[in-house]
Amino acid sequence: MAAKNKIVHHWQLEVFKLARDGAQGFFSLSKRFPKEETYSLTDQGRRASRAVGAMIAEGWRRRKYEAAFVNKLNEAEGEAAETQVWIVHAVDCEYLTKAEGRDLHRLYDRILGKLANMGNRPEPWLLRKTAE
């Protein structure tokens, strides 16, 4: 990777950008959910979807230690999978159309794939110790 394209910040990662898109997508669509879902499906889905990006950011700052980095990526995977569950429930309850649910679910599939790839091969992302 050329020096000018080097990823320095978590917000430059494609997976982080996708996680932001997913969280914003869930948030926007969930504005239509009924009032009685405010403290259940709406809140839980919003929290899980937002946690994906937060876990990626935390992991990025912990990449000096492979185990800590991979653990945070794994936590982000868990939050992404949980978000998919809330999406399915929203479709089942007819708060989202099948097409809306499918599109959002597929976005989280992409996020999960990228997180799994990073976690399974973390070496390119880890910070290297420099000689003193």
Give per-residue pLDDT as tens, 46-92.
999 999 999 999 999 999 999 999 999 999 999 999 999 999 999 99
The CATH number given to 9-125 is 1.20.1440.60
- Long-range CB contacts for residues 109-118, cutoff 8 Å, separation at least 24: 109/84, 110/18, 111/15, 111/18, 111/19, 111/22, 111/52, 111/80, 112/77, 112/80, 112/81, 114/14, 114/15, 114/18, 115/15, 115/56, 115/73, 115/74, 115/76, 115/77, 115/80, 116/77, 118/15, 118/73
Average pLDDT over the chain reads 94
Domain boundaries in the chain? 9-125
pTM score, two decimals? Answer: 0.92
% of the chain with per-residue pLDDT over 70: 95
Which pLDDT score, from 0 to 100, does residue 2 have? 41
Which pLDDT score, from 0 to 100, does residue 130 have? 65
